[in-house]
Amino acid sequence: MHPDNRQRIERRVAEAAEAALAQRKYVSAIDVLIGLGWLAPSQVDRWRQGRVDHLERVVQPNLKKISAAMRAFRGWARDRGLRPSETAYVARARDRRPLRFSKSGDPGIEKGYRTHWVAPELSEAKRARLSERQSRPPDLVAVSALNPWTCAECGEAGEGLLLMEDDGPICMACADLGHLVFLAAGDAALTRRARKASRLLAVVVRFSRSRKRYERRGILVEEAALERAEAECLADAEARAQRREREQARRAEDDLDFQRRLAREIARLYPACPITRAQRIARHTGARGSGRVGRSEAGRVLNREAIELAVIASVRHEDTPYDELLMSGIKRSDARERVRSEVDRVLEQWSVAQ
């Protein structure tokens, strides 16, 4: 591999790993591959369901690039002083079989993929809890099908929930899950308590054609567990409402602090950018739940590339006729190309210290 390409991979791996580490205090090979844009979360879901024989099959680049990225990841983790923690990966299927990462199945390669790297500042107790949680068998996943299907075991036609296994879709009765009841997503306390009380459960997902990924719709739990959870939630509803108010106030303060730090970083990178403009960009791109680049993993750790993308987006919309071009029917890629020189001009002006 050419040294320039290797250095580029190492830089991108470090950025993806830093973002994941900042968010969760540990980072995995899967985190890095997703952060690089080489692995789609929807493909990870298929692999975890046991529908892909090995993970490398659905990673976009060739094995040479994947190997280079994994070497870079391990080197970065050791340089950062992170602690290795080997984690079990088993399928979200009834047999709970071990999942395979590599095409070769080599034990050393498999161990490298399974190893999570944990921040050294975590206490021994927290590392133990993290290791236990990571190694816990994943939930069974029931799919809310978009199209009619036929059970691979009983041969009956189905239109509702199914489990995907090697032989094909399995109905709830054949999967021994027919006695469970559905609890829709939306009430976190009720869901948490129902999960804890139910001896058997499954997560219900449905594929979103617009977002091209599986999204959670709720869970299947034992009826007695749901009844118990509902009674517990009724008993402490007022206390939970007060706690939500306190949490909302805390999150609002955290958001303001993040936006202030983001505005300062924009001003540092673009010293001639008006401070009010830097603050407006920070508020816009750093809004919680916006899905904008400022709320991405890279944005939250003030990654330079993420901040530059946020500033470019602001300039494109506010300082060029980009929006008017879109409204006139011009394709987004063509509109961006037309305003590129104007965007570059503004960025150059802002980059020069006054």
pLDDT tens track, the chain, 354 positions: 678 888 999 999 999 999 999 888 899 999 999 999 999 988 998 898 888 899 999 999 999 999 999 999 999 999 999 999 988 898 887 778 899 999 999 999 999 999 999 998 888 888 778 777 777 778 888 999 988 899 999 998 888 899 888 778 999 999 899 999 999 999 999 999 999 999 999 999 998 888 888 899 999 999 999 999 999 999 998 988 888 889 888 888 888 888 898 899 999 999 999 999 999 998 888 777 665 655 556 556 677 888 888 899 999 999 999 999 999 999 988 999 999 999 999 999 999 865
Residue appearing with tokens 């980072």: 27
Quick one: which H or E segment has residue 163? strand 161-165
| Count of alpha carbons within 13 angstroms of residue 299, beta-carbon side | 26
pTM for this entry: 0.56
C-alpha 60/C-alpha 27 separation (Å) is 20
Which residue, 206, 199, 253, is CA-closest to 226?
Answer: 199
pLDDT at 291: 59
Neighbours of 45 (CB within 10 A): 17
Structural Rg of the chain based on CA atoms? 24
Distant-in-sequence, close-in-space partners of 104: CB < 8 Å, separation ≥ 6: none
Contact 38, 61 (CB under 8 A): yes
Which residue, 266, 281, 237, 303, is CA-closest to 35?
Answer: 303
The residue ranges of every structural domain in the chain are 3-135, 140-235, 238-351
